Amino acid sequence: MAKVRVGRVGEQIKKELSQIIQTELKDPRIGFITVTGVDLTNDMSQARIYLSVLGSDEQKEETLKALARGKGFLRSELGKRIRFRHTPDLLFKFDSSIEYGSRIESLLTDINGGSVQQ
């Protein structure tokens, strides 16, 4: 039963953080970000936030630095929107699964000689 609650809370954190980052976080270093997932510990003390960022590696690093700097603001806003007893600590990580999927798709296209069969 606890796993179901952790999953629901994780999805709610993902939704709220996406909205906060897009609408309320005013930092010019932050580019186009998509929150792809949230991994919450069982005691809900830490949340790993997986991000996909459009841009070069330098822009990705700047975005990560800006998010780390705004972590306090993000936690306080998250605490206001979702009524936690203790708001989880946020750890931001890059999600490379989208890039990995694109690479696999291009390799499969090369193997098939440029034609994709379905």
Q: How does pLDDT run across 57-87, given as a tens digit for each residue?
A: 888 888 888 998 999 999 999 999 998 888 9
**What average pLDDT score do residues 9-26 get?**
91
CATH of domain 1-112: 3.30.300.20
Residue 118 in this model has a pLDDT that exceeds 60: no
CA–CA–CA angle 84, 48, 94 (5° rounding):
145
Residue 1 in this model has a pLDDT that exceeds 70: no
Q: Whole-number mean pLDDT of the chain?
A: 87
Residue 100 has a pLDDT of 83
What b/e readout covers 42-70, taking b as 16+ CB neighbours within 10 angstroms? Answer: eebeebbbbbbbeeeeeebebbbebbeeb
State the sign of the Cα–Cα–Cα–Cα dihedral 72, 19, 64, 39: positive
